[in-house]
Structure formats: C-alpha cells, structure tokens
Amino acid sequence: MNPSDIDISEDEYPELEAVAAIQRGLHAYNQEMGGPYDRDPVTVLARDAEGTVRGGLLGLTYWNWLFIDWLWLAPEMRGKGLGGQLLGRAEAIARRRGCTDAYTDTFDFQAPGFWLRNGYVEFGRLDGMPQGHARIWFRKVLGAVAEG
C-alpha cells in the first residue's frame, strides 16, 4: 500500500476497535521479535474489615519479568509495613510463574526509598517530569524459582 493512500487524523476519543487494532499489532510484533509472552495480571489487595480496599498492587508478568504498574496505600495505611507485604506477595506470585526479575517506575515524590529498602536498584531517571521532580525506574533480581 502506498503511504499517499493513507489518511492521517487526530482523534481525542478513538473508538475501541481502533485502540484494539494498535494494541494487537504491537503485541503481535513484540511476540514475533521477542517470543511469546503470556501477559498475566498480578493483583494483590489490602481490604479492611468492611471489605473496603485500603491499598493494592497491580502488575503483569511476562517474559520472565514482573512489571509493577501501580502500588497504592491509603494515607493512614502508609509506613506500617503493608506496602512491603503487598510487594512480597506480588514477588512470590511472580516467582511461582517463573519470573526472575522485576521492574517498576515511580516519581521522586511518591516513595523511591520504599523501593530501595525492598532491594530494588535505580536504573533510569528522567529529570523534569513533572517540572521540579523526576520519574525513576527501579529493578530487582528475584532469583531462581524455589523448588518445592
């Protein structure tokens, strides 16, 4: 197909099928180049006695890696060890799935010290995102899966 036959447009509210076409195309290419990946979700929740979510971790495992996308705790739950428990559970899930490494990103105002205390090391930083702050990438070697 000739590029001159393609119409390029901007769309603030794309249809779901357009978004899905982009996602399917990129996933297919990634698997062609890097091998199949079973993108399996990792969800670990912290609920109070009434069942209200007070914190949680959302991530994915694929290509032997755990990607931690979100880790959040209600303000009154912070600093009590709950974040470490959520992270530990997610890492255990990842190890059972054969993951040997983990990574995440955060901002310097969120809690980079938490990641360092939990054995993660900084491997990238984007200063000025947002202005006056930095986005930071962390990784951790999870090690081999324990034989049971």
Extents of the domains making up the chain: 38-141
CA 32-34-38 angle, to 5 degrees, is: 90
**Element holding 122 (H helix, E strand):** strand 121-127
Q: Which residue has the tokens 């303000």?
A: 75
**pLDDT tens-digit readout, 36-93:** 888 999 999 999 999 999 999 999 999 999 999 999 999 999 999 999 999 999 999 9
Of 29-33, 73-77, 93-97, 116-120, the range with the lowest mean pLDDT is 29-33
Which range is most confident: 17-21, 22-26, 132-136?
132-136
Spatial separation of the C-alpha atoms in residues 110 and 113, rounded to whole Å: 9
Task: Give the pLDDT score at 37.
Answer: 85
> In the numeric block, which tokens belong to residue 123?
């491997």
Question: Cα dist. 130→88, 93, 98, 99 in Å?
Answer: 29, 32, 35, 32
Question: Cα dist. 56→33, 87, 106, 148 in Å?
Answer: 33, 9, 15, 27
137: nearest Cα among 125, 146, 128, 127: 125
Class of domain 38-141: alpha beta
Phi, psi of 135 (to 5 degrees): -100, 135
Spatial separation of the C-alpha atoms in residues 54 and 75, rounded to whole Å: 9
> In the numeric block, which tokens belong to residue 72?
């959040």
Residue 97 has pLDDT above 70, yes or no: yes
pTM, two decimal places: 0.86
- When pLDDT is cut at 50, 70 and 90, the band that residue 133 belongs to is very high
